[in-house]
Amino acid sequence: MPTTFSTISALRAALHPMRSHQRIALVPTMGNLHEGHIELVNIAKQYADIVVVSIFVNPTQFGVGEDFDSYPRTLDADVEKLAQAGADFVFAPEVAEMYPILPLATSVRAGDITAELCGRSRPTHFDGVGIVVSKLFNIVQPDVAVFGQKDYQQLAIIKQLVIDLSYPVHIISAPIIRAPDGLALSSRNQYLNTDERTRAPKLHATLQQLATELQNNAPLTKDNLVSAITQAAERLNEAGFEIDYLEVRTQALQPVFAEERSESDSDTDPKVLVILAAAWLGRARLLDNIVVTLH
């Protein structure tokens, strides 16, 4: 059974004697763990001797009217799963331990991308992600940290955070874990009722179809891209989704066509694109993405 800590000082004291001779990995989570989270732990074990899993429903990344109060909290079951996965430590602090005073006077951002994609409908979300990840890096001081690719924008922002703030942490990207019908695993999937759960895999299927269309239309033009996205959006609307966004970007999350890109994106492979989507189905806001290589 992993040792569980609820205070920063206790976790730091436990990790201190290990730092000189063991590599430490961090897997940040908000709990209510599923197979995708467990895969993050499995990957972390390949890169480190000690795996720390944080379980913290972070209030600073929830906006007004979002599901902070109702977000599922299943600490005992989570610890049992982490024991089977071979995690060493669990860090499960209360809000007051992480944030003695709220609202915070400090914010952490990682550039203009925080205002795009998910940031348009959740304008304070990535500020909250930035501050909690920074705090966890300072508390745990990991050699590596593992994040899932399902939250592609979050992953990109954290990678930029590490560069800009000179954290000595190697960020490892973990592939999306899916149910057999293609739905990306998420703690919020439990918000889906039976009918919605049946329809939910159409999000991934639509992204797959869009990826195929982009490949078949190579060399890609702006008109082809707009047409393909419009048709994909129509298919999602017909399936009952309320689309937050459906976009195609470069790997650096810049616009596809060069005249609209920043200079920082000049080194990315123009043939590798990312299809990103967020869509509501009932109470569940579903995220998904596909990396597609053009022919």
Any known ligand binding at 262? Answer: no
Q: Which letter does DSSP use for residue 183 in this model?
A: P
Largest CA distance in the chain: 59
16, 21, 37, 204: the catalytic one is 37
Any known ligand binding at 86? Answer: no
Any known ligand binding at 61? Answer: yes
Any known ligand binding at 116? Answer: no
> Is-catalytic flag, 170?
no
| 143 three-class SS | coil
**Residue 50, C-beta contacts closer than 8 angstroms, at least 6 positions apart:** 15, 18, 22, 23, 24, 25, 88, 89
Tokens of 241: 């989704």
**Residue 273, C-beta contacts closer than 8 angstroms, at least 6 positions apart:** 214, 248, 249, 250, 251, 256, 291, 292, 293, 294
Any known ligand binding at 186? Answer: yes
Cis peptide before 219 (omega within 30 of 0): yes
Q: How far apart are CA 184 and CA 179, in angstroms?
A: 6
Q: Which of 127, 135, 142 is nearest to 27 (CA)?
A: 142
Any known ligand binding at 215? Answer: no
Any known ligand binding at 176? Answer: no
Any known ligand binding at 287? Answer: no
Any known ligand binding at 98? Answer: no
Any known ligand binding at 193? Answer: no
Any known ligand binding at 290? Answer: no
**Residue 289, C-beta contacts closer than 8 angstroms, at least 6 positions apart:** 149, 150, 152, 176, 207, 274, 275, 276, 277
Any known ligand binding at 237? Answer: no
Any known ligand binding at 36? Answer: yes
- Backbone φ and ψ for 100, nearest 5 degrees, come out as -60, -30
Feature table: binding site: 30-37, 61, 148-151, 154, 177, 185-188
Residues assigned a catalytic role: 37
Feature table: binding site for (R)-pantoate: 61, 154
Feature table: binding site for ATP: 30-37, 148-151, 177, 185-188
Feature table: binding site for beta-alanine: 61
